[in-house]
């Protein structure tokens, strides 16, 4: 049978939120994947981290960060403003929001991940959205080239998961391609760990159970791959970790108590870990900046720090002022959700809970230190 085997396959398994600290004190494929590295994450949510993994670029360069940004001139959401006239008790139900998100996604032909979250409909015409296109195909980035552009140009026969599908289906699709022996590179996308960690937190035994499940699944993938390839190189990586929430702050109410007019004096969007502000007159900037200095559990990021993080955007696209909470402090309510949850990420990348992981059965190429290095690893492994 060995003479019919293909020479080599490299499999990169992406497990969302499999943080370095999530793995601490746990056994996960220790013997199978002895090369283990902590990777520095990128400042932002998965909407920023995944584009950085796929391109090797930082948010300033690929222009993917938080989903919504102030841009009334280009906002595609003007028709949705009418929904703001309906009672919030109706249109803000999770199921109703999901349904409206689906309709909008189909109407505009968005192929990316689209979710309206909890942005108020009465303000939605002020915002545009940064992930309209599928990131996991050639040409998927707002700016720059992703690994799929390189794979396509180099003519590499590869497998990539459909990120819209559940994990079990993605595993089946990968195994089906491995059995053909025709691919030389694979990227398996596993998203469920992130949702579990948000829900139960990293200390939960449910996380141990989930890790045991991943281990069993990946052993099976390795077994099948070894039947069809002489050499199987396996890399397990993630985009960020998960902090346990210990404090909630109602940032929105504090800002609204200033009595300024949203949309006329200022525009704000509240992500789970940061408030992002645009000012429409200098007096408002002064008043909001002063207020934020008195909010405990967070700080305004100086421009120089945003530059170091690669999150200084042309035209301050994603906010003229970024107020970031300390790790474990959650903005509730926010425009991403109204309910408190156990775990959150999207804090400063210097915090240990933000660190991502890279585990492998071979020494990884190019001495990776940050999640952007996964891109270079994928190019080296695929030859693209």
Q: Output the smallest distance, CB 244 to Zn ion, in A.
A: 14
Q: What is the DSSP secondary structure assignment for residue 40, as one 8-state letter? A: B
Nearer to Zn ion, 240 or 379 (CB): 240
Q: Output the smallest distance, CB 355 to Zn ion, in A.
A: 15
Residue nearest to Zn ion (CB): 194
| Cis preceding-peptide flag for 333 (omega within 30 of 0) | yes
DSSP character string of 298-318: EEEPPHHHHHHTT---GGGTT
- Binds Zn ion (CB under 5 A): choice among 128, 167, 177, 194: 194
Q: Which stretch binds Zn ion (CB under 5 A): 98-106, 186-194, 201-209, 334-342?
A: 186-194
Q: Output the smallest distance, CB 85 to Zn ion, in A.
A: 32
- Residue 187 has a CB neighbour count (10 Å cut-off) of 26
Residue 256, both tokens: 């609204």
Does the protein bind Zn ion through residue 149 (CB under 5 A)? no
242, 22 in Cβ contact below 8 A? yes
Rounding to the nearest 10 degrees, give the CA dihedral for residues 128, 132, 136, 142: -50
Q: Which stretch binds Zn ion (CB under 5 A): 192-200, 305-313, 324-332, 361-369?
A: 192-200
Q: Which stretch binds Zn ion (CB under 5 A): 80-88, 166-174, 175-183, 187-195?
A: 187-195
| Cis preceding-peptide flag for 45 (omega within 30 of 0) | no
In angstroms, the CA 11 to CA 161 distance is 12
Q: Output the smallest distance, CB 352 to Zn ion, in A.
A: 17
Nearer to Zn ion, 343 or 364 (CB): 343
Residues in the interface with Zn ion (CB under 5 A) total 1
Residue 132, both tokens: 């309209």
Nearer to Zn ion, 149 or 194 (CB): 194
Nearer to Zn ion, 83 or 190 (CB): 190
Using CB under 5 A as the criterion, which residues of the chain lie in contact with Zn ion when the complex forms?
194
């Amino acid at each position: 049978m060995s003479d019919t085997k293909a020479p080599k396959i490299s499999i990169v398994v992406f497990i969302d939120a499999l943080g370095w600290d999530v793995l601490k004190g746990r056994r996960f494929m220790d013997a199978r994947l002895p090369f283990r590295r902590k990777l520095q994450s990128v400042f932002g949510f998965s909407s920023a981290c995944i584009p950085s993994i796929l391109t090797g670029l930082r948010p300033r360069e690929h222009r993917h960060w938080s989903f919504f940004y102030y841009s009334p001139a280009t906002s595609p959401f003007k028709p949705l403003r009418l929904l703001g006239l309906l009672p919030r008790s109706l249109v803000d139900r999770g199921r109703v929001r999901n349904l409206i998100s689906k309709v909008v996604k189909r109407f505009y032909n968005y192929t990316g991940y689209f979710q309206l979250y909890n942005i108020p409909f009465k303000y939605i015409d002020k915002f545009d959205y940064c992930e309209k296109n599928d990131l996991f195909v050639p040409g998927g980035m707002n700016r720059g080239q992703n690994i799929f552009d390189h794979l396509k140009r180099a003519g590499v026969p590869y497998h990539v998961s459909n990120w819209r599908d559940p994990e079990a289906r993605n595993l089946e699709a990968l195994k089906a391609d491995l059995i053909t022996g025709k691919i030389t590179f694979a990227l398996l996308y596993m998203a469920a760990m992130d949702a579990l960690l948000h829900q139960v937190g990293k200390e939960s035994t449910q996380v141990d159970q989930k890790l045991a499940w991943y281990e069993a699944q990946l052993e099976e993938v390795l077994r099948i791959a070894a039947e069809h390839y002489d050499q199987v190189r396996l890399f397990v990586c993630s985009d960020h970790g998960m902090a346990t929430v210990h404090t909630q702050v109602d940032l929105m109410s504090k800002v609204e108590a200033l009595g300024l007019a949203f949309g006329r004096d200022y525009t704000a969007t509240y992500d789970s870990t940061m408030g992002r502000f645009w000012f429409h007159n200098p007096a408002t900037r002064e008043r909001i900046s002063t207020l934020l200095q008195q909010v405990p559990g967070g700080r305004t990021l100086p421009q120089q720090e945003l530059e170091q993080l690669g999150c200084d955007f042309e035209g301050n696209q994603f906010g003229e002022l970024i107020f970031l909470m300390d790790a474990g402090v959650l903005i509730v309510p926010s425009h991403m959700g109204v309910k408190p949850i156990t775990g959150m990420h999207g804090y400063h990348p210097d915090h240990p809970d933000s660190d991502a992981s890279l585990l492998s059965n071979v020494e990884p190429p190019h001495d990776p230190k940050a999640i952007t290095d996964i891109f270079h690893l994928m190019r080296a492994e695929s030859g693209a």
